[in-house]
A = this chain, B = another copy of it.
Amino acid sequence: MTEADGRTTAAVSLDGGWRRLPAPHLSAYLAAFHDRPVAGLAGEEIEGRHMALPLPEPGKVICCGLNYADHIAETGRDLPAHPTLFAKYADTLTGPAAEIRLPAGLDVDWEAELAVVVGAEIRGASRAEAAAAIWGYTIANDVSVRDWQRRTLQWFQGKAWDRTTPVGPVVVTADELDPAAGLQVVCRVDGVERQRGDTRSLVFDAAALVAYVSTFTRLRPGDLVLTGTPGGVGMAMTPPAYLTDGAVLETEISGIGVLRNRIAFTKE
């Protein structure tokens, strides 16, 4: 979180108060201390000013598309045999209350998602190993520039605009949250609910995705795996609807919190 002096610190919520962790953010914290119990490293209580991007430096941000049955149906596709994956970079991420700035004239859409925070170094993990390697869960909105996403066969160029994927506001550790028990994944645009999904209906759940990705690439503490978005995106509306200048995008998951990001179109 960001403190009064503008610097950020990793912090842990214990007994209702936020206590300092010995790193400027959770990316650095997990790189150093992923195998240590968090409570043992908690320092003095602090008063944060606001929540910053908790994981600003993931080595990998790997995203799953088409993972909720209702969203797959709205894109007109069949249920998949394998997860559809694409990549983002650390630069793509932004804070839980940050303004999302994009050039005017783009078709900017919303995609509320549960994000998995990896807590161990793994490659070729079984499902059980993958489950054990999940450090926690956070919220992301895979804000997508649809016209660029659809310029070619590959979605990447519509998914990797710098500082357009808000993440946060906190990471809830895996011992405190179970997506298999059913979390509500909700997206609101200017107060109107546009998406509501239940993580019980994920085609590939968190452990399955982490295991699958680890088949081809090493995942490390602080890496993020985004689990896909439920139905209700703007491009599937009739007619399609996209984010407007000044729109307020809220992304909420029960048990984690809410991201609140304003869209700002620039004239560059």
Interface residue ranges, A against B (CB under 8 Å): 59-60, 65-66, 80-92, 123-124, 145, 148, 151-157, 160-162, 216-218, 268
Contacts and interface: CB of A to CB of B under 8 A. Distances in A.
A24 to B, nearest CB: 19
Contacts of A66: 152
Contact of A162 (B81, B85, B154, B216): B216
Contacts of A88: 87
14 contacts: A65-B153, A81-B151, A83-B152, A84-B153, A84-B154, A86-B86, A87-B87, A87-B88, A92-B217, A124-B268, A145-B216, A154-B154, A157-B216, A162-B218
A268 B152 CA distance: 35
Given A59-B89, A89-B60, A162-B123, A152 B217 contact: no
Given A59-B89, A89-B60, A84 B152 contact: yes
A72 B189 CA distance: 41
- Top 6 closest A-B pairs, CB basis? A87-B87, A84-B152, A82-B151, A161-B216, A85-B157, A86-B154
Contacts of A90: 59
Among A66, A89, A154, find the residue whose CB has the most chain B CB atoms closer than 10 A.
A154
Contacts of A83: 152
A65 to B, nearest CB: 7
Nearest to A106: B216
A102 to B, nearest CB: 9
Contacts of A65: 153-154
A216 B151 CA distance: 14
